[in-house]
Amino acid sequence: MVLAHDDVDDLVRLRRQLHRHPELRFTERRTAALLAERLAPIARVHTGVADTGLVVEIEGRAPGPSVLLRADMDAYPVQDVKEVPWASGNPGVCHACGHDVHMAVVAGVAARIVADPPARGSVTLLFQPAEEIPFGEASGAAAALADAALRGRRFDAVLGLHCWPDLPAGTVGVDRETAMAAKDAFRVEVLGRAAHAATPALGRDAILGLSGIVNLLHAGVARSRNPHELVAFNIGTIAGGASQSQVAERAEATGTLRTHDEAVRGRLKEVVERIARQQAAALDLGLRFTWANEMPPVRNAASLVALAHAELPGLVDVADLTEPPLTTDDFALLGALGPSLYVKLGVTGERGGAPLHSGAFDVDERCVGVGVAALERLTRAVLAGRLAEPGAPATPAGTDQAGADQATPAGADDTAPGERAAAGAVGA
Ligand SMILES: [Zn+2]
């Protein structure tokens, strides 16, 4: 079934509407209303999931495998600097992470599944609020997992995608194992004693202590990782003191540690906390150290990676991604609902190319139809039983075609003639 141009145009209009009216975490009410209005006539819509999210249920003609498709809903707190008709009308807020595209794609897959219902199985959509979370706040994925609409459920596959400026529009990237890194956010608060600047001996300088900690943390992390270990360490905020003429009583910094490997993650967390505590103690300062927003890595299930390499070539361009990024996503938590696959949607072409979270971020909108084609194909493949049994050998993508083929038993491919042209049709 080829995506008609009209359908793609309709989804691009939806994407632009969402882009024009971005909403921050847990305030996505207009966004939710727009999606509910569109989906309620064709599926069962539960509103108020995780506060401002939606869960949408689509049943096939008979019971069978189950697929969860997730799209995040929230925008990013950055000023939109684009000069296009769909630029954000909400000052300081922009869909700079492409979540507008994710929503349009999943809404598009839903419409196509409903128009041509699978013989068996069910598809559940999760429109998830609040993927972008500041220090210490709860994640929208965690809230969705705790919601009655999803609590305790299991799916045969949990699928999602993320806009990826490093890839051209028309391409879908599949990471071999890790699709996003683990992230640990931290806050270090240094507690000193205030005094007049003229009598520093009466005080304990929290700013001096914190500046030492900042330098030592960068050095300590750099010297506690081996060259092959993927790590990104950042201190992103610093604040403290009350007056230029006072010894600062208090100073704090926040940052993140991003890793892929659990052993490296544990080692570096220990290094970070130890350096902060020992440096504060050396200067007779107090210290409060807090970890927050601890997010596991997004791991792609080997069976779903194999399925993607069996199903997607010919429909879309597939990139075998071998170097996982150090970005993170709370899609990681949804792995609790079943084997998961998070693919990267190429967005760069006539437009696009600016990095994620930049106020100039935009996409080549051909990516919308490509995303729909890819996610629909993967969904139908799981519903048709073409997913290898858990534990069956699945070979890293692209290295062994025979391995990938195991996910597609001979004769099980129900690809309609012409379906392979879908990407060409939608990507034109
Ligand atoms: Zn994002």
pLDDT per residue over 120-168, tens digit each? 999 999 999 999 988 888 899 999 999 999 999 999 999 999 999 999 9
Give backbone dihedrals phi and psi of 66, rounded to 5 degrees, phi first. Answer: -125, 140
pLDDT tens, 307-339? 999 999 999 999 999 999 999 999 999 999 999
Query: Angle formed by the axes of helices 29-39 and 99-115, to 10°?
Result: 20
Q: What's the gap in Å between 71 CA and the centre of ligand 1?
A: 10
Question: How remote is the CA of residue 302 from the centroid of ligand 1, in Å?
Answer: 23
Distance CA 240, CA 347 (A): 41
Instruction: Give the CATH class of 182-295.
Output: alpha beta
CA of 227 to the centre of ligand 1 (A): 28
pLDDT of residue 388: 73
Helices (H), 137-261: 140-146, 206-222
Residue 325: name the closest of 157, 183, 131, 187 by CA.
183
Which fold is adopted by the domain 5-180+297-427?
A: Aminopeptidase (3.40.630)
CA of 408 to the centre of ligand 1 (A): 31
69 CA distance to ligand 1 middle (Å): 15
- pLDDT tens sequence across 350-375: 888 899 999 999 999 999 999 999 99
How far, in Å, from the CA of 76 to the mean position of ligand 1?
Answer: 9
CA 76 vs CA 116, 185, 241: distances in Å: 35, 18, 29
Task: For residue 88, report the distance from its CA to the centre of ligand 1, in Å.
Answer: 17
Q: What's the 278 CA to ligand 1 centre distance in angstroms?
A: 36
Residue 161 CA to ligand 1 center (angstroms) comes to 9
The band of 104, judged by pLDDT with boundaries at 50, 70 and 90, is very high
Element (H, E) at 5: helix 5-20
CA of 333 to the centre of ligand 1 (A): 14
Residue 23 CA, ligand 1 centroid: distance in Å: 13
Give residue limits of the domains in the chain. Answer: 5-180+297-427, 182-295
**Ligand 1 centre distance from Cα of residue 382 (Å):** 25
pLDDT score for 389: 64
Q: Give 99 Cα–ligand 1 centroid separation in angstroms.
A: 6
| 384 C-alpha to ligand 1 centroid (Å) | 30
